Amino acid sequence: MKHVIVYGAGGWGTALALVLRAAGQHPVLYARRADFAARLRKERVNRDYLPGIHIPENLPIRTGLPDLTAASLLVLAVPTQFVRESLTPIAKRFPRDLAVVSVVKGIEVGSLKRVSEVVRDVLGRVPVCVLSGPSHAEEVGRRLPTTVVAASTNHALARRVQRAFMTDRFRVYSHTDVKGVELGGAVKNIIAIAAGIGDGLGLGDNAKAALLSRGMVEISKLGRAMGARMTTFYGISGVGDLVTTCYSPWGRNRAVGLAIGRGKTLGQVLSEMKMVAEGIETTRSVRALSHRLRVPMPIVDEVYRVLFENKDPRRAVADLMTRGAKSEIEDFEMPGKSRRR
């Protein structure tokens, strides 16, 4: 019997294993640490990353290197900066026809590569699909209605992943713009940190609405420079994910910004966190990427300065608000067309 490997037992990996089981698949959840896997098997709840959600007895939880020979899909659910080291031990024996479903939202530091590119760096030309959208694990685990996108340059693979995950509570749309879907999922985490900072400073709804609007402009301009489709950013994996992560109390990136806006340093925030906020390291990557491609991203620049250069958040807001006057139309009438992939 073929099973779906869920590689990573954080909150999102655990929630997706439950979705797959509800969809009639046979998921196997793999945890990195043996002691953590043993605790999950005993307690049948992931109290570190997804508290209050029961894990059924017939959902296997394992550790170590996964059995790839009987797998139909490998769902990659580890933080962005650990993708490369997590895949390297299984690279030599990875089947060339086994599809990887990345549910990771970030850009690798150093290489500045999207996660699907890192996957192929390590595993070679394996089939890759990206699953992304507004989907907090805490709500998915409680079977609240959720909609995401499955994107692959191979539309047949996107449809296959769509069928594998689809339930009456987890709706999946297929897509072919992998670049756009990955960039939307990654960069919105930076805007969410900015939104949290604004909430911590008490800047109000007007400022937050402007932040989301201008943040989407920055995301789409970077996407255009990288050859993504502009329409992707105004769909589920773009504006949909951006709105959710900037407003939801579950958002880890917003929570980081909120704490900083209330006076904490990044070091203090990190020392108190159990889970990874992808937007922190992705801020480094996206800022470097925007400078390489000469795409102005003033919000990203200011978040970087607050996180890594100890800039006062109020000063960052003031600098954004006092930038030179410009026409909004210019941002939507840049020359050139996006390249479809």
Rg for the chain (alpha carbons), in Å? Answer: 20
188 tagged catalytic: yes
CB atoms within 10 A of CB 218: 22
Query: Pairing mode, if any, of strands 128-132 and 99-102?
Result: parallel
* DSSP summary character for residue 130: E
Q: Which of 113, 188, 264, 311 is catalytic?
A: 188
* DSSP summary character for residue 281: H
At 131, is the secondary structure helix, strand, or coil? strand
Nearest to 95 by CA among 67, 115, 75, 62: 67
d(CA 185, CA 233): 10
Single-letter amino acid code for the residue at 323: R
Helices (H), 142-204: 155-165, 178-201
**Phi, psi of 138, rounded to the nearest 5 degrees:** -60, -35
Catalytic residues: 188
